Structure 1
């Protein structure tokens, strides 16, 4: 008779996400992952597969949770640019312990670039999901007169994505929440 798993899969995956955020794929040893996840090597292989499979599952979960959180923040106002600003300010105001941990999505792009099709597919999918939500919001902002009709929503979305990525890297490098909030406000001001 097979033994039942004695650990919470989601908690173990969250722990793996923490290790990968902190150290990247190459810098995360299997032993470090097992220690953080509080599972045995066999449990990892039985539940998640090898380290690469675990990484892909962690990246997918991280990207999905992160993007859905940002999209939820974007729906908090009937004024599109105010919603964008609030979402960026919420990101900038995260506790230092969370901000300094790093972003697994940005880390994946920096570590792998376009050399790994599976990683690229996951990061492209996350970018497309967030990008679509921001384009819709910016187009709504144009209809409501909050955003100049001279601003191309697609280009503005790329600008905001680059701003958010830069903020994530800056946070990892120790940028203060005050600095991050100033960057967020400047980015939104440039669109008005």
Structure 2
């Protein structure tokens, strides 16, 4: 007879996210995961499969959560330009410890690049949803006269997404709160109609 699990799966997954986010895939040992998750080796394998499967599940859960937060900030203000500003400044955590973690998704790009097809598919799904919403807001901002018409919505969306990654890398490398917020404001102003 199989013993019932002695842990809550969602809580254990959140602990795994925190470890992978801080250390990356290669820097995280199975022992790191077991200690953080508070489970035994067999429970990890039974509930999540191996370390790689756990990483993929953790990354997907992380990306779904943060993408939902990104979309909320982007859509909340009635002004499209303010929405883009909220999206960029919202990436920058006030808590220095969290800010210094950067973004788990950007970290996975740094660690794996384009060498892992499963990660590429996962990134592609998230990126296409976020990119489409940013493009929509830029088009709306152009229609309202807020955003420069010299940019195509797709170019401006790509610019915003590169700025998102850049801000996260700068945060991971120790960028300060005010410095990063100022950079986000400058990036947003570059889109403003002249």
Is 1:86 aligned with 2:108? no
Deviation by residue 1:86-143 (Cα, 9 ceiling, x = unmatched): 2222222431121112311011111111111001111111111110110011011111
Question: Which 4+ stretches in 1 moved above 4 angstroms?
Answer: none
Task: Determine the structure 1 residue equivalent to 2:166.
Answer: 166
For these two proteins, the number of residue pairs brought into alignment is: 192
Unpaired runs of 5+ residues, structure 2, are none
**Structure 1 length as normaliser, TM-score?**
0.96
1:69 Cα shift? 0.5
Deviation by residue 1:45-97 (Cα, 9 ceiling, x = unmatched): 01100000000001111111111110011121110001111222222243112
**Do 1:60 and 1:122's aligned partners in 2 also have CA atoms closer than 8 Å?**
yes
**Do 1:7 and 1:39's aligned partners in 2 also have CA atoms closer than 8 Å?**
yes
- Greater shift, 141-150 or 31-40, is seen at 141-150
CA RMSD of aligned residues (A): 1.0
**Do 1:88 and 1:184's aligned partners in 2 also have CA atoms closer than 8 Å?**
yes
Query: CA separation in 2, counterparts of 1:145 and 1:134?
Result: 16
Query: CA separation in 2, counterparts of 1:31 and 1:20?
Result: 12
Is 1:21 aligned with 2:27? no
Is 1:156 aligned with 2:156? yes
Unpaired runs of 5+ residues, structure 1, are none
